[in-house]
Structure 1
Amino acid sequence: MGFFDKAKGKLTKAVDSHGDKIADGIDKAADAVDKKTGGKHGDKLDTGADKAKDALDRLDGKNDDIR
């Protein structure tokens, strides 16, 4: 088992355990950047945050951890 396999396993476990907190953090980060840019890129930030949450949610092959 290589480094990336171990890292993916740990990340998957974290997402399974704390998916809601991670999703909140992603949303807060996107909101902070949106506020700093004066709302110029809000739609792109929302899209990026959604894609990041979807990618993390699919780590275990199920779409059940992050909403």
Structure 2
Amino acid sequence: MGIFDRFKSQAKGSKGKDMSDAAERKANEKTGRKYEGQVDDAQQRIEGALGMDRDRPERP
């Protein structure tokens, strides 16, 4: 079972969002936050594709 399968199976609950946030934090940590915007965009696209859309404040 791949990571996206795990997200999909838990998408409706808070655990899926927690996993998504943890993956985003880890990616930002590994890249030294150099690609923070791209990582955030990718997270939003993945969550949207899995039906996990959530309201996010606009970035300045």
Range class of TM-score, shorter chain: 0.5 to 0.7
* RMSD over aligned Cα atoms: 1.9
The answer on 1:15 being equivalent to 2:11 is yes
Mapped pair 1:33 → 2:27 = yes
Higher RCO (CA < 8 A, seq sep 6+) = 1
Residue type of the alignment partner of 2:34: K
Q: TM-score by structure 1 length?
A: 0.58
Unaligned runs of 5+ in 2: 1-7, 55-60
In the comparison of the two structures, how many residue pairs are matched? 47
Return structure 1 stretches of 4+ with deviation > 4 angstroms: none
Aligned to 1:62: none
Provide the C-alpha distance between the structure 1 equivalents of 2:39 and 2:31, rounded to a whole number of angstroms: 11
The alpha carbon displacement at 1:66 in A equals 4.7
| Percent of aligned pairs sharing the same letter | 26
TM-score (structure 2 length as normaliser)? 0.63
**Larger proportion of helix:** 1
In structure 1, C-alpha distance between the alignment counterparts of 2:24 and 2:32, rounded to whole Å: 12
